[in-house]
Each structure stands twice: as structure tokens, then as C-alpha cells.
Chain A
């Protein structure tokens, strides 16, 4: 099984800050990685697919990068609406989610 490890588990940042979340796979997954945003009581929302492709309708302040085992999700200028939990998901071999990163606004 492929394990996905996100860091940090929680982060607190101010509006306008640049925020980076890291996701590491236990083995190479090429670029088969997606990022999701989930707000309390809501279903997840697809942000990024194939590591760096922005889903239609998602603000351009979100970006993804990486390949192989190391990936990042970057929010270039944090907005109040970005307060949520973010999950990475590999889809190279079945599907596995990371444990999540909770982003809080200071």
C-alpha cells in the first residue's frame, strides 16, 4: 500500500501570507496526485489534479507542484475563505488520502 504523509498537521497564518503544505508518498506516484479542500460539514472539493493542474473554477492563488514522492500545495495569498482542512490523495495505485492539514486564519 502507498502511504501519504502530510505536514504540518495544523498551521496558523495571517491573511495575505504565502502558505505551503507538503505531501510525501511512501513510493513514487509519478504525478498522480490530487489536492482537496474540505470545510466543516461539507464534502471535499477538488483543487488540483495530476499534481499541478488547477481544477476549473478554483482561484489562481492555489497551485500544486512536485512529482515522484514529494509534492506541495501553495496558497500564494491566504484569504479568510481558505480556512479549511486540505487533503492530498494519490491515485497511482488504488487511492490513498493523506491525514489532512488544517489551515487556520490568525
Chain B
């Protein structure tokens, strides 16, 4: 079955760029599914960041859109997130997730374990 694993620096300096990668195993990133990022600040709820399809199509959270770049690397079966101009408010656990398509979009059925990113000078 499909598994996801996030990786990237755990510490980012204010005004810097947060960069994370999600490796997909047990399945192909070139399926009909979408690939998403969700974050959760300490003690708070879930926030959708955005999603990408292997075709390169993206959907971004309007509140973060100006700072987000997502990409897919089909050769490595992975997708990535870059969030620029970070502040302490971007400190969170970042999850990658699969948005499964079963004829229609059917929710986020596979999640990575999450990686903690702290914005800290």
C-alpha cells in the first residue's frame, strides 16, 4: 500500500524559505490522485496548504498562495513544498497526504507521519 514520508530541515530562520519533500512508496505519483500538504501549529487545528497533480496542476490555499511553490519529481516519485518569507506563525507539524480519486475526489486517505518545522532565529 502507498506510504508517504516527509523530510526536510527542522529549523528555518525568519524570512527564510521552508523546503520539504514527501517521498511516495508503494505506488506511483503519476496516478490520478492529488498530493497535498497540511500543517498543524502547536496545540491548534489543521490547515490545508495546497495540493499538486503529477501533471503539474496545483491548487493553493488563497491565504498562503503568494508564498507557496509546489512541484513534482516523477523520476524520484516525490513531491515538494517551498514556503517563502516564513515567520514564527509558520511553526507547525507539516503533513503530506494523498487526495485519493475514486471516480471523484474522496478525501485524504494516506498521510505521512508529519515533520516538525520551527521558525527560529
A interface vs B, CB < 8 Å?
1, 32, 34, 36, 38, 43-46, 48-50, 53, 55, 87, 89, 91, 94-100
Contacts and interface: CB of A to CB of B under 8 A. Distances in A.
A48 B107 CA distance: 8
A14 to B, nearest CB: 26
A97 B106 contact: no
Nearest to A34: B107
A44 B46 contact: yes
Interface string B110-121: 011110000000
Contacts, number: 61
Contacts of A94: 48, 59, 61-62
A95 B62 contact: no
B46 A46 contact: no
11 contacts: A34-B108, A43-B111, A44-B46, A49-B107, A49-B109, A55-B107, A89-B46, A89-B107, A91-B105, A95-B48, A97-B45
Contacts of A1: 62-63
Contacts of B38: 44
Given A55-B107, A89-B107, A43 B112 contact: yes
Identify the interface centre among B104, B106, B107, B111: most chain A CB within 10 Å of its CB.
B107
Nearest to A33: B107
A67 to B, nearest CB: 15
A26 to B, nearest CB: 14
Nearest to A56: B109
A94 B46 CA distance: 14
Interface in B1-51: 36, 38, 45-48, 51
A-B CB proximity, top 5 nearest: A34-B107, A43-B111, A49-B107, A95-B48, A49-B106
Contact of A91 (B46, B107, B113): B107
Contacts of B47: 97
B65 to A, nearest CB: 10
Contacts of A50: 104, 106-107
A97 B40 CA distance: 11
Contact of A53 (B36, B48, B106, B113): B106
